Amino acid sequence: MPTPDDVTGEQKHSLLRYLRQEILPTAFCSGCGCGTVLRTFVQAVDELGLSPEEMVLVTGIGCSSWIPSPYFKADTLHTTHGRPLAFATGVKIMLPHMKVIVIAGDGDIAGIGGNHLIHSARRNIDISVFMVNNWNYGMTGGQVSPTTPMGARTTTTPYRNIEPPLKTAELVAAAGANYVSRWTTYHVFSLVKAMKYAITKKGFSFVEIISQCPVSYGKLAGMRTGSDFLRHFRDHSIRVAKARELPEKELRDKIVVGKIVERDEDEFVDKLYRVNEIQAEKLGVKKGRVSAE
């Protein structure tokens, strides 16, 4: 029986070349959705024919933040909890030709970083965000997050969560993003398509990925394995078009999947550079650069 060490370079999966193989296997728990998100992201990058040299990946702190960093072999900013969009905004402004991609958790993006999310979407800056929504703060042991379903038991809501979850994708759509969709780790083919679309679409793109945390969340939710969650995602998902026909109260235990919005509004960095150029011309300074003085 061959061991993984016996596998020659030629036999290795071709997508492994996108990963830092020297630190594999990943630190994700068995059955964690982070592995699926990493796999679908690599597939999307490969299908687009993108070189990792054309990308900057930005992330925060949490299990999901390990998807881009350290595993994906590209330039990566592993920033502070809640701040990936602030860092990503700076990167995109200074390196507008690069694909700037944020992959991080629900706590990071919708909790502590919620304000950055709303205003990045409002500005419609050309950044793609993949928010891994595992319904809890996985890395720190399973605390309630802003996206935890109502009624769920978590380590900080042992008597069940009484707060309704934030509809993050709908919020981002309302704030002005050019592309928003939601899928789950069960819908891998649709997820790859959505990631490809989000990466290529100009303006702010947001894909909410409902994902499983069988360890920190699952221990109190009664779903202990990855497949328990996948069955749940399969049985509770409903397409956007169908959901729009139903009253809101019938959607309480449903996961609405599909494209939520698509528009072609102007993007932020283009406008910023245009304003700078006009101003530079007026001031007679070198094109594209306006000094703060």
Ligand X SMILES: Cc1ncc(C[n+]2csc(CCOP(=O)(O)OP(=O)(O)O)c2C)c(N)n1
For tokens 């309302």, the residue is 174
Residue 88 CA to chain centroid, in angstroms?
13
Shortest reach from residue 206's CB to Mg ion, in Å = 16
Position among 50, 57, 63, 260 found at the interface with ligand X (CB under 6 A): 63
Shortest reach from residue 134's CB to ligand SF4, in Å = 5
Position among 134, 161, 178, 185 found at the interface with ligand X (CB under 6 A): 134
Position among 60, 76, 106, 198 found at the interface with Mg ion (CB under 5 A): 106
Q: Are strands 255-262 and 128-133 parallel, antiparallel or unpaired?
A: unpaired
Residue 28 binding result from ligand SF4, Mg ion, ligand X, none, given CB thresholds of 5 to 8 Å by partner type: ligand SF4
Nearest partner of 210 among 228, 230, 227, judged by Cα = 230
User: How many alpha carbons fall within 13 Å on the CB side of residue 247?
Assistant: 2
Shortest reach from residue 216's CB to ligand SF4, in Å = 4
DSSP assignment string, 23-47: GPSPSPPTT-HHHHHHHHHHHHHHH
Residue 32 binding result from ligand SF4, Mg ion, ligand X, none, given CB thresholds of 5 to 8 Å by partner type: ligand SF4
Q: Are strands 255-262 and 179-184 parallel, antiparallel or unpaired?
A: antiparallel
Shortest reach from residue 21's CB to ligand X, in Å = 23
Measure CA of the first residue to CA of the last residue in the chain; give whole Å: 70
Shortest reach from residue 64's CB to ligand SF4, in Å = 7
Which residues would be at the binding site for ligand SF4 (CB under 6 A)?
28-29, 32, 34, 63, 134, 138-139, 213-216
Contact at 8 Å (CB) between 58 and 88? yes
Residue 81 binding result from ligand X, Mg ion, ligand SF4, none, given CB thresholds of 5 to 8 Å by partner type: ligand X
- Radius of gyration of the chain from Cα atoms? 20
Contact at 8 Å (CB) between 172 and 128? no
Nearest partner of 165 among 182, 184, 148, 144, judged by Cα = 148
Residue 61 binding result from Mg ion, ligand SF4, ligand X, none, given CB thresholds of 5 to 8 Å by partner type: ligand X
- Determine the 3-state secondary structure of 61 from DSSP: coil
Nearer to ligand X, 83 or 92 (CB): 83
- The residues in 76-105 that bind ligand X, with binding defined as CB under 6 A, are 81, 105
Shortest reach from residue 186's CB to ligand SF4, in Å = 16
Contact at 8 Å (CB) between 66 and 28? yes
Nearer to ligand X, 87 or 197 (CB): 87
- The residues in 42-61 that bind ligand X, with binding defined as CB under 6 A, are 61
- Tell me the two tokens of residue 158: 């042992």
Site residues for ligand X per CB under 6 A: 61-64, 81, 105-108, 132, 134, 136-140, 145
